[in-house]
Amino acid sequence: MASSITPPAPPAPDSLAALQGQDGLDIACGLAAVGGKPAVYRRLLGLFIDTHGAEAAAMRQLLRAGDLGALAAHAHHLRGSAATLGLIEIETLAAALEQAAGGRGPTLPVPELSQTLADALDDTVERLRRALLA
């Protein structure tokens, strides 16, 4: 006799289940910024990947060139995007780099901050890319 058990349906495309438990991601914060709409949040995370996916390499290049003003501007833009989406780790690191590269606040080691942010950004983009494809 054949079983009449139906396999569970795949998650809806706007499901956030694959994003749950991601380090450095505050989903509630990101959802609040988009009026609680999961599909919009997922779309904006995808846009973040598209927009900032190569940002780490660009920041490394700016650091090598010694262009701290442009590096601070990149960090500022990245910080705003990350804050909106609840990417807390990226927001925090970008804010520190923005201040350090812009010569504001305590003197912090710009090369180390830049490298830490670039590494975290590369990791975050890759994890988000995998989660959004799940």
Structure confidence by residue, pLDDT tens digits, 16-34 = 888 988 889 999 999 999 9
In CATH, 19-133 is 1.10.10? no
Name the average pLDDT for the chain: 87
Contacts 24+ apart (CB under 8 A), 77-84: 78/52, 78/117, 78/121, 81/48, 81/51, 81/52, 82/48, 84/30, 84/33, 84/44
Whether pLDDT at 11 is above 70: no
Per domain, the residue ranges of the chain are 19-133
Quick check: 117 and 94 in contact, CB under 8 A?
Answer: yes
Whether pLDDT at 8 is above 80: no
Structure confidence by residue, pLDDT tens digits, 43-86 = 999 999 999 989 999 999 999 999 999 999 999 999 999 999 99
Nearest-5° angle of CA 37, CA 120, CA 100?
A: 105
Q: Categorize the per-residue pLDDT at 125 as very low, low, confident or very high, splitting at 50, 70 and 90.
A: very high
Q: How far apart are CA 126 and CA 130, in angstroms?
A: 6
Q: Is 107 exposed, middle or buried (0-12, 13-18, 19+ CB in 10 A)?
A: exposed
